[in-house]
Amino acid sequence: MIRSMTGFGSATTQAGGVEFTVELRSLNNRYFKASVRLPDELGGLEASLESALRKRVSRGSFTLNIRARVTAEAATNVINDTVLLSYVEHLETVRTKVKDQAVQIDLTQLLGLPGVLQPATDNRTLMESGRQAVPKLLDEALDHLIAMRTVEGQAVAADLLGQRDHIREQMTIIAQRAPLVVNEYHEKLAARVSELMAKAKLKVDENDLIREVAVFADRADISEELSRMNGHLDQLGELIDAGSAQEPAGRTLDFISQEMLREANTIGSKSNDTAISRAVVEVKSRIDRIKEQVQNVA
C-alpha cells in the first residue's frame, strides 16, 4: 500500500546521565531533503544520521531535531578533591605567615573558586553516550513516522481508487457513445445534403457521401485513446496496491496522471459530441484530483 509523505515520529531514552530525544517530521517534497539539528557536542553525527535516514525513506522533506538534557541526578556538581586540597594547603601556608593566627578557613567559600565544583557529565561523556543512543533512537522514530505515513497513505489510496472508479464509469459512457457519433453524423450529413440537392434538383453521389463520413470517422476515432486510458487506470490500481517504501510509487503515479490527462484532452479534441464532451470534463476533473493527491505520495 502506498504511503503519505507527511508524518511524525519521536523517541526518548537515557544514557550516561543524559536524556536524549529524537523528533522527526516529514513534509511533501518531490525529492529527498533533510535538515538535521543537534547539539554542538554531537555535530559529528550529522552525516551518518542523514545517511541512515536516506536508507529508509526516499522522498520528502525531513526535519530531524535531537535534544540532549542532563538528568537531575547527573546535573549535580561534584567536588574536585585535588583542586580543593590544593587551595586549602596554599591558604594554610599563607596563614602561617600572617600575625593574626585567628584567621579561619571557610570551606564553603572555597567551593566558589575555579575548578572546585565540576559538572558530573562533561562534553566528552555526552558525546560518547550520544554516539551510542542517537542512532537507535532515530530508527525508533523512523518506525513511528513510517507507521503514520502508512495510515495516512491508506486514506490517500482509498481516495485515488475512488477517483479511478469514477473515471472508469465516464470512460464506459464515452466508449458506448463513440460509435453512435459516426452514425449520427452520417444521418445528419445525408439529410442535409439531400435537402440541399433537392432544392438544386441534383442527385448526390453516394460514394462521395461515404468518403466524407469515412474521413470524419477516422478523425473522430478514439479507440486508441480509450485503450491507453484503460491501461493507465489498470496501472494506477496496481501501483496503489503494490506501492511500498522500497519501491516508491509517487513519481510513477504523477507520470501516469499526466498521461491520463493527455489522453483525456485528445479525446475531447476529437469528439464532436456533447455527451462525450461532458464526460471528458468530468474525467479531467477527477484526474486533477488524482494529480493533487499523488503530490503527497512517497
On whether the CB atoms of residues 186 and 215 are closer than 8 A, the answer is no
- Secondary structure percentages of the chain, helix, strand, coil, to 5: 65, 15, 20
What confidence score (pLDDT) does residue 245 get? Answer: 43
Provide the residue count of the chain: 298
What confidence score (pLDDT) does residue 99 get? Answer: 63
Q: How far apart are CA 114 and CA 87, in angstroms?
A: 10
Q: How far apart are CA 89 and CA 245, in angstroms?
A: 67
On whether the CB atoms of residues 298 and 59 are closer than 8 A, the answer is yes
Cα 95 → chain centroid: 72
CATH topology (fold) of 7-74+121-151 = Ribosomal Protein S5; domain 2 (3.30.230)
Range(s) within the chain of domains with CATH label 1.20.140:
153-294
On whether the CB atoms of residues 54 and 32 are closer than 8 A, the answer is yes
CATH topology (fold) of 153-294 = Butyryl-CoA Dehydrogenase, subunit A; domain 3 (1.20.140)
Query: How big is the chain by its Cα radius of gyration, in Å?
Result: 38
Phi, psi of 178, rounded to the nearest 5 degrees: -55, -50
∠ CA(158), CA(161), CA(166), 5° rounding? 125
∠ CA(263), CA(266), CA(268), 5° rounding? 110
- Per the listing, cell 542523514 goes with 50
DSSP string, 97-125: TSS-TT----HHHHTTSTTTEE-SS-HHH
Which residues have CB under 8 Å from 285's CB, separation 6+? none
Q: How far apart are CA 275 and CA 177, in angstroms?
A: 8
On whether the CB atoms of residues 254 and 235 are closer than 8 A, the answer is no
Name the H helices within 201-249: 206-219, 223-242
230: exposed, middle or buried (Cβ count in 10 Å: 0-12, 13-18, 19+)? middle
What confidence score (pLDDT) does residue 270 get? Answer: 82
Pull the grid cell for residue 60: 520528502
Range(s) within the chain of domains with CATH label 3.30.230:
7-74+121-151
pLDDT averaged per 10 residues in sequence order, the chain, 298 residues: 90 85 93 91 88 90 90 59 72 68 66 65 66 91 94 93 95 88 59 56 58 60 88 92 66 93 91 87 96 90
The predicted model scores a pTM of 0.69
Q: How far apart are CA 22 and CA 37, in angstroms?
A: 10
